[in-house]
């Protein structure tokens, strides 16, 4: 088995020239038939870290009840999150607590802990990982804080200040702008040899004129610099296939990306051709050729 190392998101309307249709999204919230609370809780604080463990009388239920939550001490807002109005086991959950919006993603313990522990050590346009939790039935979720009102292409998290946008409603200018924002964010991420892993628009969270990568469950370090160029190539193929990027956008993206990641692109070119590039345009042309092949 191949070992994967995990380590360690109101102006958008004007920026992307689009209209929002937030009426169509999956609602994971469940009605509250009771006001059940934990029978007891125990809080621990150590350095910049805090955790709370809860005991429950009733654990056989669909609604998500927290067994343990770990979080940054500065995020004291999470200290009393013992239940979330969603199905325990749902893949992606957006909820609001004390006027703050959070996005939770179901994962395994090792990934949740790695993302939480490494967040402050990595650079790039990444969502703000503030904690993780274990539910009473044993599921683990990594928790990200949404800083302000945002747009997302993932229906599952479209609520509580996160508005859903359908990519087909973007005009050409909006799609080009989106492509530019994604390219700049990816170039910054790849400069640290980090890769998203199977990028889609569900990895995009927009705050006005800023973009962050969300859903970091496949985020990892690439031990080979040329591999990040393969991810960039796959990303551009995807954006071109769904109509976000046209040929002009693709060329502009390659030119920008290769200028920001020159060493990696040169290594990739040498690996593909067996020779060192003589001119930066050789690299741009080779990446472009691979995108359309």
Q: Which of 158, 264, 259, 261 is nearest to 205 (CA)?
A: 158
d(CA 248, CA 176): 9
Whether domain 167-292 has CATH 3.30.9.10: no
- Give the pLDDT score at 225: 83
The pLDDT, as a whole number, for residue 18 is: 37
Q: Per-residue confidence of the chain (293 residues) as pLDDT tens digits?
A: 433 333 333 344 344 443 333 333 344 444 444 458 999 999 999 999 999 999 999 878 889 999 999 999 999 999 999 999 999 999 999 999 999 999 999 999 999 999 999 887 887 799 999 999 999 999 999 999 998 889 999 999 999 999 999 999 999 999 999 999 999 999 999 998 999 998 999 999 999 889 999 999 999 998 888 899 999 999 999 999 999 999 999 999 999 999 999 999 999 999 999 999 989 999 999 999 999 98
| Residue 28 contacts residue 51 (beta carbons within 8 Å) | no
Task: Give the torsion sign (CA, 86, 89, 92, 97).
Answer: positive
Q: What's the token pair of residue 17? A: 């020239």
pLDDT at 25: 38
Nearest to 176 by CA among 80, 243, 88, 98: 243
Q: Which of 90, 41, 45, 87 is nearest to 65 (CA)?
A: 87
**Cα of 22 vs its chain's centroid, Å:** 20
Rounded Cα distance, 63 and 47, in Å:
32
- Positive or negative, the CA dihedral 159, 130, 189, 7 is negative
CATH 1.10.510.10 positions along the chain are 167-292
In this prediction, residue 3 carries a pLDDT of 38
pLDDT of residue 148: 84
User: CA 20 to CA 165: how far, in whole Å?
Assistant: 5
Question: According to the model, what pLDDT value does residue 35 have?
Answer: 59
Structure tokens at 36: 């059940």
């Amino acid at each position: 088995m191949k070992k994967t190392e995990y380590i360690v998101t109101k102006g958008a309307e004007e920026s992307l020239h689009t209209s929002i249709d937030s009426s169509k999204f999956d609602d994971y919230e469940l009605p509250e038939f009771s006001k059940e609370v934990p029978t007891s809780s125990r809080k621990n604080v150590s350095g910049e870290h805090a955790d709370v463990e809860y005991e429950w009388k009733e654990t056989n239920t669909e609604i998500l009840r927290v067994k343990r939550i770990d979080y940054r001490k500065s995020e004291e807002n999470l200290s009393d999150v013992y239940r979330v109005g969603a199905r325990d086991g749902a893949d992606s959950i957006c909820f609001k607590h004390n006027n703050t919006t959070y996005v939770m993603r179901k994962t395994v313990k090792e990934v949740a802990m790695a993302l939480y522990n490494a967040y402050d050590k990595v650079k790039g346009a990444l969502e703000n990982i503030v904690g993780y939790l274990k539910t009473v039935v044993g599921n683990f979720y990594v928790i990200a804080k949404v800083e302000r009102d945002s747009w997302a292409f993932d229906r599952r998290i479209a609520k509580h200040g996160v508005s859903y946008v359908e990519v087909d409603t973007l005009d050409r200018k909006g799609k080009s702008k989106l492509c530019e924002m994604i390219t700049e964010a990816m170039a910054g991420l790849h400069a640290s040899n980090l890769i998203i892993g199977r990028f889609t628009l569900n990895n995009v969270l927009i705050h006005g004129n800023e973009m962050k990568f969300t859903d970091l469950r496949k985020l990892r370090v690439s031990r080979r610099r040329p591999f990040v160029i393969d991810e960039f190539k796959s990303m551009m193929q995807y954006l071109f296939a769904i109509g976000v990027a046209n040929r002009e956008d693709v060329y502009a993206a390659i030119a920008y990306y290769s200028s920001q990641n020159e060493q990696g692109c040169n290594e990739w070119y040498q690996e593909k051709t067996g020779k060192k590039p003589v001119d930066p345009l050789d690299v741009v042309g080779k990446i472009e050729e691979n995108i359309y092949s």
